[in-house]
Amino acid sequence: MPDLVLIDRAFQRIMRALVDSGRAPHYAELARALGLTTEEGRGLLRDVMQAYPIGWLHPETDYIASFPPLNNLPTQYRITVRGEQRWFAQCGFEATSATWLFPGDTVRVDAPCLDCGDPVTVEMRDGRITWADPPGVVGHLAFGFGPSRGRPHYL
């Protein structure tokens, strides 16, 4: 049975690495940080992803692709904090959740509109919208939640 305390610690290591550097650690780095063998690290990473199924590994690898609200694989949702654009959000909806990873900071989301390519910008601070350009920015759920909708809901 997986060790829940260890899984919590691993989750925090991954999330903290993403916040601090914009990159998720490899399982070998995770293992070293937690005093485990690399194979134990790989198993632990798989346990974390099973417990956090809104993220995922790149298919047929043990590379973290998505660890929402952030993404290890670049997306069109670029996140800028303190003037540095190091981060990507999993999707436009999760982009609005990134504010909770940077308390006290302004978090800026920049993305191209998928219709026209013109910019969409949202700035938030501690969960509050401080700027949106254009003011009529909307969210759009294309395929619906739930497994019966046929396409990944985050697209």
Please report, as ranges, the residues that interact with another protein according to CB under 8 A.
Answer: 4-5, 7-9, 11-12, 15-16, 19, 48, 51-52, 69, 77, 91-97, 99-101, 103, 109, 111, 113-116, 118, 120, 122, 124, 127-129, 132, 134, 136-149, 153-155
Alpha-carbon span 147 to 123, nearest angstrom:
32
Alpha-carbon span 29 to 117, nearest angstrom:
38
Return the closest-CA partner of residue 69 out of 92, 45, 28, 98: 98
Q: Which is nearer to another protein, 37 or 130 (CB)?
A: 130
Alpha-carbon span 68 to 77, nearest angstrom:
12
Q: Which is nearer to another protein, 16 or 58 (CB)?
A: 16
CB of 26 to another protein, least distance (A): 19
